[in-house]
């Protein structure tokens, strides 16, 4: 029974470490993607009022 508890503690710590590694990798990938595609995202952010107004009016989008 003590052995199962040890294994449980180890697996929880292992999962925490694995989650931290995955989150770090995800953050690096997200930063790389934002740096790579940053200008187009900024353009979309700048044009968002036009896009949302166009979607509400259901007219032809520019």
User: Do residues 30 and 23 make contact, with C-beta atoms less than 8 angstroms apart?
Assistant: no
User: Do residues 38 and 48 make contact, with C-beta atoms less than 8 angstroms apart?
Assistant: no
Residues 1-45: pLDDT tens digits?
A: 444 445 556 677 788 888 999 999 999 998 888 777 767 777 777
Distance CA 44, CA 29 (A): 20
User: Do residues 41 and 34 make contact, with C-beta atoms less than 8 angstroms apart?
Assistant: yes
For residue 56, what pLDDT band results from cuts at 50, 70 and 90?
A: low
pTM of the model: 0.43
Which sequence spans correspond to the domains of the chain?
Answer: 1-62
Where b means 16+ CB within 10 Å and e means fewer, 24-62 reads eeeeeeeeeeeeeeeeeeeeeeeeeeeeeeeeeeeeeee
């Amino acid at each position: 029974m003590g052995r199962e508890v040890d294994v449980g503690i180890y697996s929880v710590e292992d999962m925490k470490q694995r989650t931290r590694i995955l989150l770090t990798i995800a953050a690096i990938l997200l930063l790389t993607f934002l740096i790579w595609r940053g200008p187009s995202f900024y353009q979309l952010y700048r044009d968002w009022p036009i896009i949302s107004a166009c979607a509400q009016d259901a007219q032809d989008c520019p």
